[in-house]
Chain A
Amino acid sequence: MTLLEAKDLGVAYGEIEALRGVSFTIEEGAVVALLGSNGAGKSTTLRAVSGLVAPRAGSILFDGKSIAGLSPRAIVKLGIAHVPEGRRVFPGLTVRENIMLGASNGSASSAVIGREADAMFDFFPSIKPFANALGWTLSGGQQQMVAVARGLMAKPRLLLLDEPSLGLAPVVTQAVFQIINDIHKRGTTVLLVEQNAHMALKVANWGYVLETGRLALSGDPATLWSDERIRDAYLGGEQAKAAL
């Protein structure tokens, strides 16, 4: 069933139009990749879904209910967790504290949350030794793991991941995408924004490609990957050149 549906989404920052007429659906249990070059509007799409920015036009339905214009706090309570670009681990708090704060959308006691955090470490064994290390001391890849773990603590139905591979070495990126795969297997729906189209399409069930604020392509990973036009969306193409 459709978990998230965006129709004709329009978002602007002041007078700069970041998204225009963007429509997409996400089926429950799927991993959907949202691709495109820098500036295409991928992060803006996630920010509209999580409530950081209110859409100027169009609608967003989560489980049939409209969420456009709700506050981020209300949206995370409904079951959408956003792991933003750049990881944004709290630098002055420990890894365990960071993860525990991921459950701030509920009202469980500190003890219960502590136990859930410890259980989370089993899912992310590579960061378990760093449980009491301060956030700023971790490497990029480790911070990414912490950020994802923190997002999962909200027990989301839909997890929004914004460029998890950004700035990470290829071998670390592999580990991150392995985690995404595991999350998928556990039944969480994932909307994955990535510049790295190759890795994203390897783990996704469906893909959308944005180009300067509009939806350019959509399809299943294999079809998308072999389509010439995906290269054009990133590297420019003959048709676009002709327009100039």
Chain B
Amino acid sequence: MSRSAIGQVFYALLAAVLVALAATVKTDGYIANILMQAATYAIAVFGLSIVLGLCGQINLAQAAFFALGAYSVALGTVDYHIPFWLCLLGGMAIALAAGAGLGLMTLRLGGHYLAMVTISFQQILTVVLTNAIGFTHGPDGVSSIPRPAGFASGQSFLALVVAIMAISGYLVWRLADTRLGRAMRAVRDNELAASANGIDVYRTKLIAFALAALLAGLGGGLFASGFSYVSPDQFAFADSIVLLTMALLGGAASPIGSAIGTGLLILIPEWLRFLKSVPGLYLAVYGAAVILIVLFMPDGIWGYISKLFRARKPAPSKAAEPLTLRPLDSGAPMALEVKGLCKHFGGLKAVDGVDLQVRRGGAHALIGPNGSGKTTMVNVVTGLYRATAGEIFVDGVDVTTLPAHKRTVAGLARTFQNIRLFRSMTALENVVVGAERDGNALIERGRAALWGRARAALDFVGLENRANEAIPSFSYGHQRLIEIARALAANPTVLLLDEPAAGLNLSEKKELHDLLGRIAAQGLTILLIDHDMTLISGAARHVTVLNFGRRIADGETADVLRQPDVAAAYLGVSE
């Protein structure tokens, strides 16, 4: 049985045991309350582990979404006599809508703005809950919230909550290994690379945000019935901070970490009850703890532990089949064609009316001295910048106005000058992200085909035996190869390599040269940008030269490199 399957069985057993304990072990009211709080909070913290841990987006309104779920159940059952389960689902839907709505408005801004918006939303909700007395009962809160039929006793309801917590924990845990989960992790690690590998960054962040809100709503709804009483001061900004601290302490990136963090931060204050005798003291310690965690344990307790386990992953089995590359061929004469491309930054004309025709098959090089516009041109062709004017065709398809991730679907793949790998993932996972881009016909046959193809791509660059190692353990030159494997796994039509030789020593350059030959032998079209003329003249048959944003030469490499104005562009000889 695979390690992952063993883990899942273990999880199921543990969950069953916990539920059974909750249902049968009699505890006094105080302890029961603590467990109830821990369990419902844990669900909300699982939500944070998705949006913050997996996707890297800040969310300081988790208590607000929790409140939406709680008040939906509270007001729904008490004031409107709607059945519990309907209220719970309704509350989750409302929380989901709020999360999605907030996300739609502001995820494009990111960073501090997102923090600001979530705080603002939290504050507004607190004010509304406190002051819209007619609807929310105001500061008095809502009491006597009933529980669903069959779970009327505190004990049975606790067991229900633990069961739901276990299920949601399981789903969050498995999420990391799905396509969506990988997309979230890619966005967190390197947005630009995620986009270049076909991931719709905005949509991914939005989903993460919405899922976090959904889980918070679930936790809140259960909280309401669990305690039979809700009031606005239970869902304030301070509580969002408490949830955040729980996520960070345990380790934001996994539900196990979340559970640990939640447990510790609810239990510790109980053990250290003496701290509560002086108001504010334990929260002060809390605040100091946050700083210390960020400083010394940025991955949290579980993150720290799991890093130790990572080092001992076994080597995978050998790949079954060699890598196949079947680039699209619609019959259009050029694999990549650029017409009259312009990119202006204010008054600066970085690219000024450049034409480029890249013939199908083999390698074409784009060269020019520093500041000639090569990198800008690559960034416009791949969609990082919007063209000021001109057109770009990949295999005859006009991609000029498509966002970067859609160009990948059209058949474009690239590597970056300063390597952009997803550093928290293994080599194999990085390549899988490349392989699972939309529209990759070669992985139609399901999960086995996907991972098999990723293995094959790694094997093609000679690193298959190290597939399960994390990125930081690879040398710079090998990281470069993994990035190329990731691009190849996507079965591109045109592969753009942006200064692949940068930072490589002589033997690594030789490896690269050989790899380029093997790629070309499979019929793939390569556009190579580099300064290393030896590599260029060895690998590329055709070359285009840029200077001051314009094309100054184009043709067979040996001829072009002998032209006097090309030498002049580099060396500065006057005509």
Contacts and interface: CB of A to CB of B under 8 A. Distances in A.
Interface in A59-100: none
B534 A196 contact: no
B536 interface: yes
A191 to B, nearest CB: 18
Given A198-B573, A198-B574, A167 B371 contact: yes
B476 to A, nearest CB: 6
B476 A15 contact: yes
B6 interface: no
A166 interface: yes
Contacts of A163: 370
A127 to B, nearest CB: 18
A244 B510 CA distance: 6
Contacts of B566: 235
A231 B567 contact: yes
A14 B571 contact: no
Contacts of A244: 509-510, 513, 534-535, 538
B572 interface: yes
Contacts of B502: 39
A199 interface: yes
A230 interface: yes
A241 B538 contact: yes
Contact of A240 (B348, B499, B534): B534
B42 to A, nearest CB: 40
A197 interface: yes
B533 interface: yes
B572 A241 contact: no
A161 to B, nearest CB: 15
A236 B534 CA distance: 5
B369 interface: yes
A167 to B, nearest CB: 4
Contacts of B505: 17
Given A15-B475, A16-B503, A234-B571, A241 B534 contact: yes
B572 A236 contact: no
Interface string A207-244: 00000100000000000000000110011110011011
A231 to B, nearest CB: 6
Q: Indicate the member of A140, A195, A241 with the most B CB atoms within 10 Å.
A: A195
B137 interface: no
Contact of B572 (A15, A196, A237): A196
B242 to A, nearest CB: 39
B370 A195 contact: yes
The residue in B370, B510, B573 that gathers the most chain A C-beta atoms within 10 A of its C-beta is B370
A199 B548 contact: no
B143 interface: no
B321 interface: no
A71 to B, nearest CB: 25
A108 interface: no
B475 A197 contact: no
Given A166-B371, A169-B548, A236 B571 contact: no
- Of A15, A38, A197, A243, chain B has the most CB atoms within 10 Å of the CB of A38
Contacts of A196: 571-572
Contacts of B475: 15
A231 B571 contact: yes
Contacts of B177: none
A188 interface: no
Interface string B51-65: 000000000000000
Nearest to A20: B505
A37 interface: yes
A17 B477 CA distance: 12
B94 interface: no
Contacts of B348: 140
Interface centre among B370, B534, B561 (most CB of A within 10 A): B534
Interface string A146-157: 000000000000
Interface in B553-575: 561, 566-568, 570-574
B533 A235 contact: yes
B398 interface: no
B537 interface: yes
Interface in B493-537: 499, 502-503, 505-506, 509-510, 513, 531-537
Interface in A133-170: 140, 163, 166-167, 169
Given A14-B476, A38-B531, A235-B561, A166 B548 contact: no
Nearest to A39: B531
Contact of A236 (B370, B476, B499, B533): B533
Interface in B62-103: none
A197 B533 CA distance: 17
A15 B537 CA distance: 27
A236 B537 contact: yes
Contact of B570 (A169, A200, A234): A234
B532 A236 contact: yes
Nearest to A140: B348
A195 B570 contact: yes
A196 B348 CA distance: 21
Contacts of A17: 505
Contacts of A243: 506, 534
A81 B534 CA distance: 35
Interface string A115-128: 00000000000000
Interface in A163-190: 163, 166-167, 169
Nearest to A198: B572
A15 B475 CA distance: 8
Nearest to B505: A17
A38 B571 CA distance: 12
Nearest to A37: B531
Contacts of B370: 38, 163, 166, 195
Q: Indicate the member of A163, A196, A197 with the most B CB atoms within 10 Å.
A: A196
A42 to B, nearest CB: 10
Contact of A241 (B499, B537, B571): B537
A38 B561 CA distance: 16
Interface in B9-42: none
Contacts of A167: 371
Interface string B335-348: 00000000000001
A195 B370 CA distance: 8
Contacts of B509: 244
Contacts of B533: 37, 234-236
Given A16-B476, A37-B570, A199-B572, 6 more contacts: A196-B572, A230-B571, A234-B533, A235-B567, A236-B537, A244-B534
17 contacts: A14-B476, A15-B476, A16-B476, A37-B531, A39-B499, A39-B502, A39-B531, A39-B532, A140-B348, A163-B370, A198-B574, A200-B572, A230-B571, A234-B570, A235-B561, A235-B567, A241-B537
Interface of B: 348, 369-371, 475-476, 499, 502-503, 505-506, 509-510, 513, 531-538, 548, 561, 566-568, 570-574
The 9 closest A-B pairs by CB, nearest first: A236-B533, A198-B572, A196-B572, A236-B534, A167-B371, A16-B503, A240-B534, A38-B531, A197-B571
